[in-house]
Structure 1
Amino acid sequence: MHLASCLLTILALGLSLCGASPAPSRHVVHESRSSIPTGWSPVRRADQDIVLPLRIGLVQPNIHKVEEYLMEVSHPQSPGYGKHWTPAEVGHAFRPSKEAVDVVRSWLLMSALGADRIRMTNDGTWIRVYVTVKEAEKLLGTEYYVYEKETEGEVIACADKYHLPEHVSGHVELVTPTLQFDFKHKRRAAEKRDRPPPSKLWRGIPTSNVSPASSAVAQVNGPVENITEQLSACGEQITPACLQLLYNFTDFTPQVPGNNSIAIVELTPNAYLASDLDMFFANFSPSQVGERPIFVSIDGGVVQTTTESLDDNVESDLDLQYAMALVGPTQNVTLLQAGDLVEGASPNDVLDALDASYCTYEGGDDPNLDPVYPDPDGGYQGKARTRHDCGTAPLPNVLSFSYSSAEAYFTPAYMERMCNEFAKLGLMGVTVLWSTGDYGVATFGDCLDAAGDLGSGTDYTTFSPSFPATCPYVTGVGATQINTTSTRTMESAAYEPGKLSSGGGFSNIFALPSYQQTVVQDYLTNYPPPYSSSVYNSSGNSRAYPDLSANGVRYTVAADGEWLSVYGTSASTPVIASFFTAINDARIAAGKSSIGFINPTIYSSSFQAAFNDITDGSNPGCGTQGFYAEPGWDPVTGIGTPNVAMLRDLWLELQ
């Protein structure tokens, strides 16, 4: 019997496991928690015969090197600059080792789980096995309980920790379901799911940030008789022509539009109206009347017209009108429309669609923060195999997100998982841009208390950093405005009471990246903010944002058939995306790569002259004036606003 069992094991694993039985391995705590999430409480032990879809996430061997790899292809002085990786190369670099797979499978087999129950995901990062609660408790040295929260129903999770054999633990990142509150217990028939859509965590421009505008005034590429006079008018109304003048972007004609790409992300129910695009183009770029973005649906994404309002339309109208007008009629713009009308979407849906391996990386999306497919409330039902869109969207050269959220809304693991994916996109040559938010050092008007919770009132005085702008592998975009109160600089930090305070500050999660060390240390040394460490992360060792800025005030936008004046970092982000698309066009036409992850380059000394340094203004919030714009980099406007023609020429000099 022992020999037969051993032969079966050899066939299953391809390992030499016969002979003396291995000595039992010491079990160690693999993960633990000190408390359960707010609002949840244990109600009973989980029934022993409940079946759990146990998923064992294997260690990605090179994930700790992701910044090193990214710098090799992104730093302007690196011999490997611009030599971006293919998706296959990215997948291979981070695929778990054969040793990890063999060790974990062997442990499961030796735990009396049959080989027919053990499955490997296609990307090689997860081992799946269905076990009962009784089997899981024995495997993991833990106890499972049913936890309940009034608005969420019931979940099954471990009590406080779980264990793995010591020789197994080093090959495993995490096991689910264990400490995560995401395995839903079967609901009683009378219970109804009541969870806000994930898109509520991600906001573009609130309706309060728009106001009536007079008739639009300037034509794109029209004659400019007096630049000073024209820019003075731009202080009252921003148009595509204003942005061209402000940022030296007056001579762009795409040379290789078919080989270049830009994508704008919209989260349903945000959707453009075709009539609004034509109204805008008729006034600013007549040749583009009738032009539409290339539509890519992600997880049921639809350009919906079921509901039409400023909440629904102004964000997408703004993003597409300015991105399309600035790159012109021959350069296609792709719209990545994510989420159905029932659940909406989160950025993770977009990342799943761009990179199939992300769908299962570290357990996949979080069902408490991301949509669940198939949608249990009758929306998008997903694909037959993957349940949602994985690897279905083409990789663009520039990716623009006009949304923001707060670090405080998410767990560090959630943010790190997403941030690592942005690094992988950078490795593949994608420039990822994120708006920094419109509430200065606060988040949607809320700040942190001493416990790190978001809220408002006298106890909430700590600055709340914006995510994902704090991820070191994205480019955070702040907002400026034409300076109408001072003659010192053409622009100042964007601040309009009740409408916009440009997001900026210091992360509470992510470390200071190497490309930013000099400028951040210079700022903190020469212009130390007048706040204690209880107000913001003053350590000097954390990621700072934004990286750069562009005008974000008084954009003339056609929305719901009206002319509106719109404010926000949501406006500056697609504009920056358009500028970098033009720079990519010039490099591709010269036989060179896309610019990819730009932060190491724009922070380099040789590129500083191509940015307009902003030294006026601040970003108020949390009952303070926030941070102040100062010479050099600052946590309000970053390194400044771009001179696109100079940036293009500098990037053309790189290999």
Structure 2
Amino acid sequence: MRSLPLLLTLSLVGARGTLSPWTLHEKRSQIPSGWSRAQQHEPSAMIPLRIALTQPNISNFEEYLHDVSHPDSPNYGKHWTPEEVAVRFAPSNESISTVHEWLLQSGVDPSRVKLSPGRGWLHVNSTVAEAEELLRTKYYVYDHNTGARHVACESYHLPAHVTPHIDFVTPTIHFDAKVAVRPSHGPVVNAAAKKNSDSLEDCDKQMTPACLRALYGLKDKPASAKGNSFGIVQYPPQAYRQQDLDSFAKKFSTGLDGVAPKVISIDGGTDQIKYVGHAYNTESSLDLEYAMGLVGPKQKVTLYEVGDMIEGASYNNFLDAIDGFYCFFMDGDDSTFDPVYPDKHHGGYKGGQPCGTTKPTNVISTSYGWDEHALSNLYAGRQCLEYGKLGLMGITVLYPSGDNGVAAIDQTCTGKGKTFVPSFPSTCPFVTSVGATQVSSGKSVHDPESACDAAQAGVYSGGGWSNYFGMPGYQADAVKGYLKHHRPPYASGIWNSTGKSRAYPDMSANGANYLIAIDNEFATASGTSAAAPVVGAILTMVNDARIAAGKKPVGFINPTIYSKKFAQGFHDVTTGSNPGCDTGGFKAAKGWDPVTGLGTPNFPKLVEAWMKLP
């Protein structure tokens, strides 16, 4: 069973203390959509090299996570402390000394080599010319069609005796992205909120909290156990408006009029009011109105606001705050694309960068995604591992599977235009990926749902197979069953047909035509970003029941939901598909499928099953 990147298995060795031959460490196969190489980088320019040191015990990581997350494990729910995680995965003294010695032998002055406080990274301030010599590469400046610029190389090399001690080096081949705008979703359409708060009519046209409660058998009044928590992550310039939350509450959520989320600012994050409109308020309105509306007024919802309006933020900025293992300016971040704080720009956030200072909520839902191929597989693997560490500590992490079927965020495809584009972080085996379903046109909440259809909802549920991550053991049987009975008819060059890679999504929820209050009016919006916070609310209600009974939160749920003990916990979705890349995409089918995963939640059965666990 492997949950780490398929390409992480380099085992080159050499004589320590000598500069052994250089070997290729990473190479990019293509430039992400929207980017083009402009020019070679200026040799005298400074570049902050960050060297990610390999971590011990990674080969056993899935075993560790399985031990606290699988329902048959005697240690189910016995989550690790942050200190236990830190000790288990701290890089060895041998790795630190080997890489340090290589740098010094290469002519780097010792004063320019710094070890991060977490011992996970070495930092070297270098000129471009020095970095090119160290890594046997060439650095270029890339331009984006939005006007953004990026520094990267096409490949790089390391001495063979050093390779086993280094995961990857940044900045090199990958194109990470600051989260700045709402991803591609279904259209936001103005709508009249004619429905009563408890009406179940026209749920195929306007989804409301009452429709969701009926679909999934949700409680109206959770117990709101002390110590339970649910968090939504927001990136600038997205912002909610309290008057919109109040308008929605007056119509659909008794007891929430005037209630605001608990706001935690990270790196200067704030509810900006300079920019308003659907492009700036839809995501936050959608997430908060339904997250708060479903869990009720007694359960506080936390809003993590990440990044100021000038620098913005990346996923790493959020990880910095909640996870001290992936932190510090000289640690997990890369200043060429990860915003660095304090922000030196005029009007930027001048406070210090948080490092593990923000307590993570039991459930975290993030309604954003990125194209897997835009990242280095080693870089994505390191970030994925941090999500796994959160799972070890009992945190549930949810990401949407994407809204363009098998295509990229911008609806493009790779290769000759037909190669499918997996979505990250959904392809990370240590997060729970959430797809989207719909009440089909003319049907009711009492009829089986189907996969989201662009004709009705404006989106197709993302799904498929990763090109980076191996198949985790928890989903092997379910995915093999799909490939045996419903194997897609496409050539192997279009999708990862090996049957050995991570498949997604894991589960789904309705994502079609959500009625939201936004900018003093009502409108409808669709997307897997609607489904993810709904699943987050449902799992928060499960935690509510467990905590009230003296049990621990569910933590990383994937080994549990794929087990036989939870076979009755989902409504199977067998109709629909996720087209893209000039193909019909994949088809929904009986059992797990790469469109809707295991299906949609059957809340009473899920609570029943989870309450039977320790």
**Interval of TM-score (by shorter of Structure 1 and Structure 2):** 0.7 to 0.9
Task: Give yes or no for the alignment of 1:173 onto 2:132.
Answer: no
Q: C-alpha distance in 2, partners of 1:25/1:461?
A: 43
Question: Hey, what's the Cα distance between the residues in 2 that align with 1:23 and 1:462?
Answer: 44
Q: Trace 1:139-538 onto structure 2 (pairs within 5 A).
A: 140=134, 142=136, 147-149=140-142, 161-164=156-159, 167-175=161-169, 179=172, 198-200=178-180, 203=183, 205=185, 208-219=187-198, 231-250=200-219, 252-256=221-225, 258-359=226-327, 364-375=332-343, 377-384=345-352, 388-444=353-409, 446-450=411-415, 459-484=416-441, 489-497=447-455, 499-538=458-497
Normalised by the length of structure 2, the TM-score is: 0.87
Partner of 1:18: none
| Alignment-mate amino acid for residue 296 of structure 1 | I
2:12 maps to none
What's the CA shift string for 1:541-584, capped at 9, x where partnerless?
22111111111112111111111122111111111101100111
Greater RCO (CA < 8 Å, at least 6 residues apart): 2
Deviation at 1:417, TM superposition (A): 2.1
In structure 2, the CA distance between the partners of 1:485 and 1:74, relative to structure 1 (3 Å rule), is: same
Question: CA separation in 2, counterparts of 1:200 and 1:377?
Answer: 17
- Tell me the amino acid that sits aligned with residue 193 of structure 2: S
Cα distance, 1:262 vs structure 2: 0.4
Q: For the Cα contact (< 8 Å) 1:156–1:181, is it kept in 2?
A: no
How many angstroms does 1:110 deviate by?
6.5
Q: Which amino acid aligns with 1:622?
A: C
Describe the SS at the equivalent of 2:71. Answer: coil
Structure 2 unmatched runs, 5+:
1-15
> Percent of aligned pairs with the same residue?
44
| 1:238 partner amino acid | M
Aligned-pair Cα RMSD in Å = 3.2
What amino acid does structure 1 have at the position aligned with 2:273?
Answer: T
What are the Cα deviations for residues 323-358 of structure 1, in whole angstroms up to 9, with x where unaligned?
111111111100011122223322222111111221
State the one-letter code of the partner of 1:213: A
Cα distance in 1 for residues equivalent to 2:500 and 2:177:
35
Counterparts of 1:51 and 1:565, CA distance in 2: 48
Q: Cα deviation per residue 1:515-562 (whole Å; 9 max; x = unaligned)?
A: 111111111111222322233222212211111111111211111111
Per the TM alignment, residue 91 of structure 1 is displaced from its structure 2 partner at its CA by: 1.3
Inter-partner Cα distance in structure 1 for 2:486 and 2:115: 54
| C-alpha distance 623-211 of structure 1, shift in aligned 2 (>3 A) | farther
- Bigger Cα displacement from structure 2, 636-645 vs 623-632: 623-632
Match of 2:348, SS? coil
Q: Distance in 1 between matches of 2:22 and 2:100?
A: 18
Kindly tell me: are residues 147 and 544 of structure 1, through their superposed partners in 2, closer, same or farther at Cα, counting changes over 3 Å?
closer
Partner SS for 1:57: strand
CA distance in structure 2 between the aligned counterparts of 1:441 and 1:54, rounded to whole angstroms: 35
Contact 1:477 1:569 in 2 (8 A): yes
Structure 1's 71 and 217: CA in aligned 2 closer, same or farther, altered over 3 A?
same
Query: 1:39 aligned to 2:36?
Result: yes
- The 2-side partners of 1:377 and 1:197 are apart by 19
CA distance in 1, matches of 2:331, 2:232: 27
Q: Which amino acid aligns with 1:40?
A: R
Say whether the 8 Å CA contact 1:489–1:615 is kept in structure 2: no
Q: Deviations over 1:379-438 (max 9, x none)?
A: 534544xxx332232111000011222223322233222211111111111111111122
Report if the CA contact (8 A) 1:340-1:379 is conserved: no
Relative to structure 1, is the Cα distance of residues 111 and 650 closer, same or farther in structure 2, using a 3 angstrom cutoff? same
- For the residue of structure 2 that corresponds to 1:378, the secondary structure is coil
SS at match of 1:595: coil
**What TM-score comes out, normalization by structure 1 length?**
0.82
AA aligned to 1:80 is: N
CA distance in 2, matches of 1:591, 1:212: 44
Q: 1:32 to 1:463 in 2, by over 3 A?
A: closer
- Counterpart of 1:391 in structure 2: which amino acid? G
SS at match of 1:500: coil
Asked whether the 8 Å contact 1:202–1:404 carries over to 2, the reply is: no
Which residue matches 1:80?
75
Structure exhibiting the larger radius of gyration computed from Cα positions: 1
User: Displacement of 1:634 after TM fit?
Assistant: 1.0
The alpha-carbon deviation at position 447 of structure 1 amounts to 3.3
Output the CA distance in 2 between the equivalents of 1:642 and 1:153: 41
Residue 198 of structure 1: CA displacement? 2.0
Maintained 8 Å contact 1:146/1:155: no
Determine the structure 2 residue equivalent to 1:639: 598
Task: Indicate conservation of the 8 Å contact 2:268/2:351, yes or no.
Answer: no
- Which of the residues 86, 92, 102 maps onto 2:87? 92
8 Å CA contact 2:182, 2:283 repeated in 1: no
2:450–2:575 CA contact under 8 A, matched in 1: yes
Provide the secondary structure at the position in 1 that maps to 2:567. helix
8 A Cα contact 1:402 1:570, kept in partner: yes
For 2:597 and 2:279, how far apart are their aligned partners in 1?
Answer: 29
CA distance in 2, matches of 1:362, 1:412: 21
Query: In 1, are the aligned partners of 2:174 and 2:374 still within 8 Å (CA)?
Result: no
Amino acid at match of 2:87: H
Give deviations 1:273-315, integer Å, cap 9, x for gaps: 1000000111122311110000011122111111110011111
- Residue 81 of structure 1 aligns with an amino acid whose one-letter code is Y
Q: 1:117 to 1:521 in 2, by over 3 A?
A: closer
| Contact kept in structure 1, 2:400 and 2:435, CA below 8 Å | yes
The aligned length equals 592
Unaligned stretches of 5+ residues in structure 1:
1-21, 183-195, 220-229, 451-458
Q: Which residue number in structure 2 is paired with residue 65 of structure 1? A: 60
Cα distance between partner residues in 2 of 1:559 and 1:130: 46
C-alpha displacement of 1:64: 3.0
**Matching residue within 537, 540, 546 for 1:581:** 540
